[in-house]
């Protein structure tokens, strides 16, 4: 009974918020200046208002200021707990049957991986989310039965690769997207590992990350040039009325959004950059088409948006972290990212719908 009351209260509160704000949230996170920037005497171009947690100003070299507003703005001294506190209600709604999609967007080196993966001392959104999902499933075990599955894949140069290969010395398996029922995509052959606890997932993710760098001598470079996707599938069954749900939570660390310099524009790097630009702009186009409600949503323009189609519509919950650098040297890229994110935030969307 307590569970039913809590769950309907959560839904009521959520619907209230949705009526006010829609299903798409954008959080901005600014990393601290790093050692090299401090040693080099870099200027910080980001200003925060001490009393407001949803806006920031970018100060240009001519001292003009541009204001940006998001659903929440995290400052350089906000820690992983603070970030997760805001993210938790969104990710845990996958247990109530909602499809959820979280992206980290931004220039390489701005903290996308720090926000999503974190480090063993400073766990990020992915680990904390799994921990919370296991905790809540345990808490609800008298009224709900949950099964959790994890998949991990990479999109590199418009090719999808399964990172949960059994033997991480083997190259990742290539996969294709298949249209299942109307508006539902499947990736046949994708490994879905049933998981029972957070540490187990952590080990799985570590082996997935190793698979990511197979064949590359420059693992870090590759990781900034591919999208890394973690998918948590939740199957739920109510022990009260037998109602079943199946929903997905996608946790996505996108490729770096930086524009390539003129010097690099040749060969393999050019191809990579074109693919990255294509998929990031496809993501922006999908989101703005959803916003303008024009009817046709161009999901098929990239593997990324096509695969996420059923988790990226008006009835799903979407959260984008726009990651930025405070340094004057990155001003141009920072403005590009903030403009992109503002476009995303402009979205109006209908209430989220439960998946059954
Ligand atoms: P990206 O994934 O965007 O390329 P990373 O997550 O690799 O960026 O971050 C670059 C570096 O900055 C890493 O050493 C990371 O630990 C550090 N970093 C990023 N964000 C923060 C933060 N909020 N607090 C402390 N260190 C951070």
285-321: per-residue pLDDT in tens? 887 777 666 678 889 999 999 999 888 876 788 899 9
pLDDT above 90: percentage of residues in the chain: 53
List all residues 6 or more positions away from 146 whose beta carbon is below 8 Å from its beta carbon.
95, 133, 137, 140, 234, 235, 236, 237
User: Does ligand 1 have an atom closer than 6 angstroms to the CB of 113?
Assistant: yes
The answer to whether 135 touches 182, Cβ cutoff 8 Å, is no
The answer to whether 235 touches 146, Cβ cutoff 8 Å, is yes
User: Does ligand 1 have an atom closer than 6 angstroms to the CB of 112?
Assistant: yes
Q: What is the pLDDT of residues 107-163, one digit of tens each?
A: 999 999 999 999 999 999 999 999 999 999 999 999 999 999 999 999 988 889 888
DSSP letters for 31-59: PPP-HHHHHTTPPB-EEE-TT-SSEEEEE
Candidate of 31, 108, 258 to mutate for ligand 1, largest count of ligand atoms within 8 Å of Cβ: 31
Instruction: Name the residue with tokens 């204001």.
Output: 67
User: Does ligand 1 have an atom closer than 6 angstroms to the CB of 298?
Assistant: no
pLDDT at residue number 186? 81
184 Cα to the center of ligand 1, angstroms: 34
pLDDT above 70: percentage of residues in the chain: 82
The answer to whether 145 touches 239, Cβ cutoff 8 Å, is yes
pLDDT at residue number 83? 98
Q: How many residues does the chain have?
A: 356
Token output for 234: 């939740």
* Range 190-217 average pLDDT: 81
Residue 76 predicted with pLDDT over 50:
yes
The answer to whether 260 touches 273, Cβ cutoff 8 Å, is yes
pLDDT at residue number 349? 46
Strands (E), 198-326: 227-238, 244-253, 317-324
Indicate which residue's Cα is closest to atom 9 of ligand 1: 111
In a 3-state reduction of DSSP, which class is residue 216?
A: coil
User: Does ligand 1 have an atom closer than 6 angstroms to the CB of 257?
Assistant: no
pLDDT at residue number 331? 95
> How far apart, in whole angstroms, are the C-alpha atoms of residue 103 and residue 112?
9
Q: What is the pLDDT of residues 49-70, one digit of tens each?
A: 888 999 999 998 888 999 999 9
Indicate which residue's Cα is closest to atom 10 of ligand 1: 109
Closest ligand 1 atom, residue 107 Cα: 3
**pLDDT greater at residue 325 or residue 273:** 325
Closest ligand 1 atom, residue 76 Cα: 23
> How far apart, in whole angstroms, are the C-alpha atoms of residue 57 and residue 64?
10
Q: Comparing C-alpha atoms, which of 236, 253, 227, 268 is closest to residue 143?
A: 236
User: Does ligand 1 have an atom closer than 6 angstroms to the CB of 110?
Assistant: yes
pLDDT at residue number 110? 96
The answer to whether 25 touches 14, Cβ cutoff 8 Å, is no
216 Cα to the center of ligand 1, angstroms: 22
323 Cα to the center of ligand 1, angstroms: 9
* Range 83-97 average pLDDT: 94
Whole-structure pTM value: 0.89
pLDDT at residue number 170? 61
Q: What is the pLDDT of residues 209-265, one digit of tens each?
A: 777 755 454 555 667 888 999 999 999 999 999 999 999 999 999 999 987 655 555
List all residues 6 or more positions away from 121 whose beta carbon is below 8 Å from its beta carbon.
none
Residue 266 predicted with pLDDT over 70:
no
CA quadruple 312, 315, 316, 321: dihedral sign: positive
Residue 40 predicted with pLDDT over 60:
yes
User: Does ligand 1 have an atom closer than 6 angstroms to the CB of 345?
Assistant: no
pLDDT at residue number 353? 60
**pLDDT greater at residue 178 or residue 155:** 155
pLDDT at residue number 148? 97
Phi, psi at 114, each rounded to 5° = -60, -45
């Amino acid at each position: 009974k307590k569970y039913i009351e809590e769950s309907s209260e959560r839904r009521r509160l959520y619907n209230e918020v949705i009526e006010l704000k829609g299903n798409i949230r954008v959080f901005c996170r600014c990393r601290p200046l790093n050692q090299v920037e401090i040693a080099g005497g870099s200027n910080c171009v980001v200003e925060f208002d001490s009393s407001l947690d949803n806006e920031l100003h970018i100060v240009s070299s001519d001292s003009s200021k541009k204001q940006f507003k998001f659903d929440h703005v995290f400052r350089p001294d906000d820690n992983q707990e603070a970030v997760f506190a805001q993210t938790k209600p969104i990710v845990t709604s996958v247990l109530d049957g909602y499809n959820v999609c979280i992206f980290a967007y931004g220039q390489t080196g701005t903290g996308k991986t720090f926000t999503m993966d974190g480090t063993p001392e400073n766990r990020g959104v992915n680990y904390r989310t799994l921990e919370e999902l296991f905790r809540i499933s345990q808490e609800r075990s008298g009224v709900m039965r949950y099964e959790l599955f994890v998949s991990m894949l990479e999109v590199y140069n418009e090719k999808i690769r399964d990172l949960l290969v059994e033997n991480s010395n083997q190259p990742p398996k290539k996969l294709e997207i298949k249209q299942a029922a109307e508006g539902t995509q499947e990736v046949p052959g994708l490994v879905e590992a049933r998981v029972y606890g957070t540490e187990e997932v952590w080990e799985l993710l570590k082996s997935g990350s190793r698979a990511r760098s197979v064949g590359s001598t420059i693992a870090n470079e590759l990781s900034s040039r591919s999208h890394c996707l973690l998918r948590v599938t939740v199957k739920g069954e109510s022990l009260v009325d037998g109602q079943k749900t199946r929903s997905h939570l996608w946790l996505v660390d996108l490729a770096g959004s930086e524009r390539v310099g003129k010097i690099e524009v040749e060969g393999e790097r050019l191809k990579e950059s074109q693919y990255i630009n294509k998929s990031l702009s496809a993501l922006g186009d999908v989101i703005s088409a959803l916003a303008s409600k024009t009817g046709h949503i161009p999901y098929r323009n990239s593997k990324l948006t096509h695969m996420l189609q059923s988790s990226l519509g008006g009835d799903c919950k979407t959260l984008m972290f726009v990651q930025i650098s405070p340094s004057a040297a990155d001003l141009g890229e920072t403005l590009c990212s903030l403009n992109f994110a503002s476009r995303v935030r402009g979205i109006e969307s209908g209430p989220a719908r439960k998946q059954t």
